């Protein structure tokens, strides 16, 4: 707890933690929105969410290695992951869409192990990063640093989220997706090809996560095993924010980013992952007890 007293002695440090948390939180929110989309439309909880983030990060890393500017890697990751998501739907996910939720959780869990280990075998377990050196702004006499790349990824995350919303609101396919989310059977009767809607939804989710992963590779680092924490973060954000509320997802994502940064500083970086997973359990148990007072339970 020594670090806690440091925070009180130097309050400007908490400004740093707050800023970092808010900026990374937008990326969490992006992945979480993808999970909410798949969950709401297909009734599938995708445990392989974090692996899409990880693979997107690797796409960014390899395009960067090839000498392309990392910003171009974001659309590249989105397109490649869209194709991967679409293929996964056509081979595996379509078989579990209508089944028990546990079956889809377990199947996507297997998928997550598969992708994670494939990445480990193919790309190696090393920690990689894409250095997008853009300079840094110093605030408060250099006590607080803001890397420009973080501001840029924050803006990009918001733009991507905005684009996705526009797509869902305005385009024909977006309308079909929302109709399927409301009532798949009615949508089918009205002539919506729900199978295609599911494929596009799953692909879109993978694309969003891929883009988020490219942003992660630029601001942080990537390695094959970072998937599960992202899945858990997405799940947590979705439980707190609900399935349809974009602003709440963004708020919860940024809140989680801030909480995680503070916890990492106070308890030590080695407990940061433990904090994320423990927070999930705490939030679920808290939700369960608050609902139980009205004799309801999480559905």
Q: Which residues bind other proteins (CB under 8 A)?
A: 45, 92, 95-96, 99, 101-103, 105-107, 109-118, 120-121, 228, 232, 235, 239, 268, 270-271, 273-274, 277-278, 280-281, 284-285, 288-289, 292, 297-299
- SS3 state of residue 175: helix
Q: For residues 8 and 289, which CB has a smaller minimum distance to other proteins in the complex?
A: 289
Q: Are 59 and 121 in contact (CB under 8 A)?
A: no
**H or E stretch covering 232:** helix 227-241
Q: In the numeric block, which tokens belong to residue 65?
A: 């290695």
**CA dihedral for 111, 112, 117, 119, sign (positive or negative):** positive
Q: Are 79 and 207 in contact (CB under 8 A)?
A: yes
Closest distance of CB 292 from other proteins, Å: 6
Closest distance of CB 190 from other proteins, Å: 29
Closest distance of CB 165 from other proteins, Å: 26
Q: For residues 120 and 137, which CB has a smaller minimum distance to other proteins in the complex?
A: 120
Q: For residues 112 and 219, which CB has a smaller minimum distance to other proteins in the complex?
A: 112
Closest distance of CB 159 from other proteins, Å: 30
Please report the DSSP string for 268-279 in residue order: -GGGHHHHHHHH
Closest distance of CB 154 from other proteins, Å: 27
Give, to the nearest 10 degrees, the angle between helix 246-267 and helix 148-170. 150
Q: For residues 162 and 242, which CB has a smaller minimum distance to other proteins in the complex?
A: 242
Q: For residues 12 and 106, which CB has a smaller minimum distance to other proteins in the complex?
A: 106
> What end-to-end distance do the CA atoms of the chain give, in Å?
38
Closest distance of CB 158 from other proteins, Å: 28
Task: Give every CB contact of residue 137 below 8 A, 6+ residues apart in sequence.
Answer: 145, 146, 148
**What CA–CA distance (Å, rounded) separates 254 from 25?**
4
**CA dihedral for 169, 171, 174, 175, sign (positive or negative):** positive
Nearest Cα neighbor of 155 from 71, 38, 50, 227 is 71
Q: In the numeric block, which tokens belong to residue 157?
A: 């995350």
Closest distance of CB 293 from other proteins, Å: 12
Q: For residues 66 and 122, which CB has a smaller minimum distance to other proteins in the complex?
A: 122
Closest distance of CB 48 from other proteins, Å: 10
Q: For residues 247 and 298, which CB has a smaller minimum distance to other proteins in the complex?
A: 298
Q: For residues 110 and 242, which CB has a smaller minimum distance to other proteins in the complex?
A: 110
**What CA–CA distance (Å, rounded) separates 274 from 281?**
11
């Amino acid at each position: 707890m020594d670090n806690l007293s440091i925070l009180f002695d130097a309050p400007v440090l908490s400004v740093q933690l707050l800023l970092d948390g808010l900026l990374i939180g937008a990326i969490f929110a992006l992945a979480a929105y993808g999970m909410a989309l798949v969950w709401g439309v297909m009734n599938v909880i995708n445990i392989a969410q974090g692996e899409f983030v990880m693979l997107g990060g690797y796409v960014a890393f390899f395009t960067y290695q090839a000498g392309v500017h990392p910003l171009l890697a974001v659309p590249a990751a989105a397109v490649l992951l869209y194709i991967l998501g679409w293929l996964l739907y056509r081979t595996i996910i379509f078989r579990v869409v209508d089944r028990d939720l546990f079956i889809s959780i377990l199947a996507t869990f297997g998928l997550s192990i598969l992708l994670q280990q494939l990445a480990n075998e193919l790309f190696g377990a090393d920690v990689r990063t894409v250095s997008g050196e853009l300079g840094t702004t110093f605030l408060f006499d250099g006590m607080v640093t803001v890397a420009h790349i973080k501001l840029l990824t924050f803006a990009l995350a918001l733009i991507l989220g905005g684009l996705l919303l526009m797509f869902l609101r305005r385009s024909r396919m977006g309308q079909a997706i929302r109709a399927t989310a409301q009532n798949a059977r009615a949508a089918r009767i009205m002539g919506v090809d729900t199978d295609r809607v599911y494929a596009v939804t799953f692909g879109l989710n993978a694309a969003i996560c891929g883009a988020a992963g490219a942003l992660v590779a630029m601001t942080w680092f990537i390695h094959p095993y970072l998937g599960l924490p992202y899945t858990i973060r997405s799940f947590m954000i979705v439980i707190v924010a609900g399935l349809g509320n974009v602003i709440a997802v963004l708020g919860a994502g940024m809140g989680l980013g801030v909480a995680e940064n503070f916890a990492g500083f106070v308890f030590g970086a080695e407990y940061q992952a433990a904090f994320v997973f423990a927070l999930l359990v705490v939030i679920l148990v808290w939700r369960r007890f608050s609902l139980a007072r009205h004799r309801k339970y999480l559905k």
